[in-house]
Amino acid sequence: MKKICYKPIGVVHSPFRSREDIEPMRNTRSRGFQNVRGKIEVFPPYEEGLKDISGFSHLIVLFVFHQSQAGRLLVRPPGRRSVRGVFATRSPHRPNPIGMTVVKLRKRRGNVLEISGLDIVEGSPVLDIKPYTPKDRKSSIRTGFLAPRKGRRRS
């Protein structure tokens, strides 16, 4: 299949300057990033596409892992011992380094979205913004090796 190319529609402004600023274990908690605030600056030519967005409390953000290294198929999640298949992880070092996160929309000011629940680093190029809908909320999920280990001490 041939290559597919995209042009960023905006950029993320975040208190995290690099991946190292993000504690990996936050990722396994449902509210790990709840209090982290930032902004999505949508480039002016795309601002019209933000019409009606204020009606939604949560947004799906697709962005570029711009600090990632070449795509790997096996990765070692930070703080873990085992090597995992990359598609079973949220590692940025993926064949196509696209990130997906759900953030809370606090306020829209023109072409800028003020958000919270941010787990993205400063300067990440944004590819798309979508409303989070009931279809995106799944119950009774199993989360493989991410699941809390019961009755076992962490060494």
93-152: which residues touch a copy of itself (CB under 8 A)? 94-96, 98, 100-102, 104, 119, 125, 127-147
Tokens of 84: 């995992």
Nearer Cβ to a copy of itself (81/137): 137
Shortest CB 133 distance to a copy of itself, Å: 6
How far apart CA 149 and CA 51 sit, in angstroms, is 44
Nearer Cβ to a copy of itself (3/150): 3
Q: List C-alpha distances in Å: 79 to 82, 95, 113.
A: 10, 22, 33
* H or E segment and range at residue 85: strand 84-85
Site for a copy of itself in 48-87 (CB under 8 A): 48-58, 60, 62, 64, 73-74, 84-87
Is residue 90 part of the contact set for a copy of itself (CB under 8 A)?
yes
Binding-site size for a copy of itself (CB under 8 A) equals 72
List of residues 6+ apart from 85 with CB closer than 8 A:
73, 74
Shortest CB 15 distance to a copy of itself, Å: 18
- Other CB atoms closer than 10 Å to residue 35's CB: what's the count? 9
